[in-house]
Chain A
Amino acid sequence: MTLPIHKRASTGGAPAPRRSAARTSSTVLCALGVFMLVNGLPIPRDATAGAIKGTVTLKGTAPELKKLAVTIDQYVCGKEKNPEELVLSPQGGIRSAVVWLDKPPAGASAAALAPTATMDQKECLFAPRVVVVPAGGKIDFLNSDRLLHNLHSTPSANPPFNRTQPKGRTITIPFEKPEIIRVTCDLHSWMRGWVVVAEHPYYALTDGAGEFELKGLPAGRYTLKVWQERLGTVSKEVVVGDQDPTPVTLEMPAR
């Protein structure tokens, strides 16, 4: 068996204060997202079809994020975790932000999002941290750690779930209503995952550089929305015209 303790120990930083994580985690949230399959979408034959290609960036000073101390199950989880609630590229691009059209164009045909996504739990972190799944889709929650995790979430529109998960067992959870759901683990308080249940196909997840692309858009004026777990939601008007793809930069103010 591999020993993540040792691997993790070498990446360590300053120890953080202890938390009685196990006790306080009364609610669960383990979520999963669906990978957006933006790539490979067929370019619409429609002469009016266009695309938005842009970057989500941080405006202002990046907040200082402390490493998370791990006080339990170090043999799997390591001694500390990098904070992932805001991950920036060197150029300030924000990773794992979700961009979508506030109102999808009527009659437009974007490629449908994959109905099933996977969210694993590896070394006591949700991977990926954010998944997008279409409403009516499902997420397969996995556990690669040789210990118990406990998926826990109390969404507002979808039914809550609270499942104990040993290693190697897949728990599949369906999501019917569009919303952004937080998933936690009762046993490891630092674990956060987000499931974005998409209302329509025009959703995109930013990559490591903070870039995204929305395709299959007729020319017109749109309201773009972007959400990030720490920075909240920001809107921006975009006109899709002859230029293809339409470039856009979404700035999220630091807070």
Chain B
Amino acid sequence: MALINSPLGAPVRAFARIRASVHVKLLAGFLLITFLVIALTVVSLRTVAETAREATLLDQAHERVVWSRQIEHALAMQMHFTSMTLLSQGEEPVSLILRENNRFNDTLARLETAAPAEERTLIQAIRGAQDDAMATVADIANAVRDKKLAEALTALRTRQEPIYQKIETLVGSLVSAEESRMAKLRQSLAATRRQSMRLMTGFAVASVVLALVGGFIISWSFILPVRAAHGFLSDVAAGRFGGTVVVPNRDEFGALAEHMTWMSRELHRLDDEQRVAAATLRGLNDRLALASRAKSEFLANMSHELRTPLNAILGFTEILLDELYGEVPANLREPLVDIQTNGRHLLRLINDVLDLSKIEAGRLELGLGEYSVQEIVEVVHASLRSLAIEKGLAFSVRVAPGIPAAWGDGRRLTQCLLNLAGNALKFTRQGRVDIDVSHADGWLTFKVADTGIGIPKEEVENIFAEFRQVDTTITREYGGTGLGLSITKRLVEMHGGRIGVESELGRGSTFFFTVPLHADGGPA
């Protein structure tokens, strides 16, 4: 089954093919982003540190420029105070000269300490000149104190001034060196700033893009197999087995897809097997139905054919007993009555078999018409009353008043009730048998209750099957074909009703059946 295409199909599939669990993949994705953020932070910090370093260098250079200015100022002040000294010849300006000269030394020392290596030479030159200047200043000061003004003036003009000019020139180059250094630092600072901006922007964009693309690829590598599985499961649900789920994933989804494919094959195999079995069964069933119908038809025909000679036997036996052929000797009357009794029993058996066969062959049709419940009950009561009296049983009937005329096959329903009541009388040695008919909601309920031997619970389900009685000894004791209940059940069901029994072994049974007041859509 092909993957549903996604916009980044190739990378998504490549990612899905990575042999790692979903857990690891997600973790790796998050870690990647986290590392990017950390890298960004590190780069930022380094940039900040670099900027701070350059700013410090700039500050230092600036400080050195300030010191250089101070040196120049100290020089100017020394010249100024020297002039004052020459003018006033006092001690005070002398000490000011000395003070300024020492300050010059101090500043120069600081400058030397702070200066970069390439400026040391320049500063050494200044230092050398300053050593000369110190000696000159001392000479001038001492000359003034010794009142040797001419000597002092000469020292000033021939020594101090040239030295100071030299120093000024040197300091000037120092200042310009520092200033060009500052300019470079400023440029470098700006460059660092620009670079850091570019770097940060790059990192930010890369992070966002990576997060988006990574998230997209990861999620699609999960979505695609899920969609494939969804489509596949829809096929399975629709009964199309045997397909395969093809996903590129080599993770949990891949394993799931393999399992689903395997499951689908199994389902397909089972489905095929089941179809074959069903077809076989259908064939068998058809053949069985044919055989059954053949059997029923055979039985129906057979019964019909059997009845003809049996009717002749019964007819002639009756004629003999009615003495139409002359007086029957006393010793023959009893065997003749036996023949008649057994013949009638055989006829009943044949009739039952015929009925059942007709029903099974689908050839029995109900003769629908209007019938009276009261009449049915009375017919049954009349038919069986003598039997009840003979066995010494109480036999009562009760029909709920006001039952309207019903629609159905009255003759068959009579047969049903007769079967149930006959059975009840047959299997009851003492006590009573009661017939009760009631009507509710368009349904008629016929009940036959006895105080007979009852039916074991395990037999209740089978009691309506053909040729069934509770046990074979019963058949021998009570007689009967065992077809009665079966036929009754079929007839009731043909009316659209149901039959049932409630029984307690040794206490008695209550058989009942319900049929609609108007069976088979008859006139209301």
Contact = CB atoms under 8 A, between A and B. Distances in A.
B414 interface: no
A25 B134 contact: no
A26 B91 contact: yes
A73 B106 contact: yes
B109 interface: yes
B363 interface: no
Given A22-B95, A25-B95, A147 B102 contact: yes
Contacts of B105: 73, 75-76, 146-148
Given A164-B142, A166-B135, A148 B101 contact: yes
A74 B110 CA distance: 10
Contact of A5 (B109, B138, B145): B109
Interface in B113-153: 113, 127, 131, 134-135, 137-138, 141-142, 145
A219 interface: no
A167 interface: yes
A169 B102 contact: no
A196 B268 CA distance: 128
A187 B103 CA distance: 11
A146 B137 CA distance: 14
Contacts of B95: 22-23, 25-26, 150, 186-187
A14 interface: no
Contacts of A5: 109
B106 A165 contact: no
Interface string A199-228: 000000000000000000000000000000
B134 A167 contact: yes
B106 A74 contact: yes
Contacts of A254: none
A111 B246 CA distance: 121
B109 A148 contact: no
Chain A CB within 10 Å — which of B102, B105, B113, B142 has the most? Answer: B102
Interface in A1-48: 1, 3, 5, 22-23, 25-26
B102 A164 contact: no
Contact of B141 (A26, A164, A169): A164
B134 A166 contact: yes
Chain B CB within 10 Å — which of A3, A5, A75, A169 has the most? Answer: A75
A72 interface: yes
Given A73-B105, A164-B138, A187 B91 contact: no
Contacts of A3: 109, 113
Interface residues of A, number: 25
A168 to B, nearest CB: 8
A23 B92 CA distance: 8
A186 B141 CA distance: 13
Interface secondary structure of A, over-half rule:
loop
Kindly state the interface size class of chain B when it binds its partner: 20 to 34
A169 B127 contact: no
A148 B98 contact: yes
Contacts of B19: none
B304 interface: no
A71 B99 CA distance: 13
A235 interface: no
Contacts of A75: 105-106, 109-110, 113
B449 interface: no
A169 B138 contact: yes
A73 B109 CA distance: 9
A188 to B, nearest CB: 9
A246 interface: no
B352 interface: no
A67 interface: no
A169 B135 CA distance: 8
B94 interface: yes
B112 interface: yes
Contact of A148 (B112, B137, B145): B137
Contacts of A72: 102-103, 106
Nearest to B99: A22
B106 A148 contact: no
A148 B110 CA distance: 17
Given A3-B113, A22-B95, A169-B138, A187 B102 contact: yes
A76 B101 CA distance: 14
A127 B150 CA distance: 35
A122 interface: no
A187 B109 contact: no
A1 B98 contact: no
Nearest to B107: A75
Nearest to B135: A166
A162 interface: yes
A166 B112 contact: no
Nearest to B96: A22
Given A1-B112, A5-B109, A148-B137, A166 B131 contact: yes
Nearest to B140: A164
B27 to A, nearest CB: 55
A76 B110 CA distance: 11
A59 B282 CA distance: 139
Nearest to A187: B98
Contact of B134 (A22, A26, A74, A148): A148
Nearest to A6: B113
Contact of B98 (A76, A169, A186): A186
B403 to A, nearest CB: 132
Given A3-B113, A75-B109, A187-B95, A148 B127 contact: no
Contact of A147 (B91, B134, B145): B134
A165 B138 contact: yes
Chain A CB within 10 Å — which of B112, B127, B135 has the most? Answer: B135
Interface string B398-429: 00000000000000000000000000000000
A150 B98 contact: yes
Nearest to B144: A164
Contacts of A76: 105, 109
Nearest to A165: B138
Contact of B138 (A1, A74, A148, A186): A148
Contacts of A165: 138
Contacts of A23: 95
Interface in B358-402: none
A146 B138 CA distance: 13
B131 A167 contact: yes
Interface string A143-179: 0001110100000000000111111010000000000
Nearest to B136: A166
14 contacts: A23-B95, A25-B95, A72-B102, A73-B105, A74-B106, A75-B105, A75-B106, A75-B113, A148-B105, A164-B98, A164-B137, A164-B141, A164-B142, A187-B95
Q: Which 3 A-B pairs have the closest CB atoms?
A: A75-B109, A164-B138, A166-B134
Interface of B: 91-92, 94-95, 98-99, 101-103, 105-106, 109-110, 112-113, 127, 131, 134-135, 137-138, 141-142, 145
Given A73-B105, A150-B98, 6 more contacts: A1-B112, A1-B127, A75-B109, A75-B110, A163-B142, A164-B141
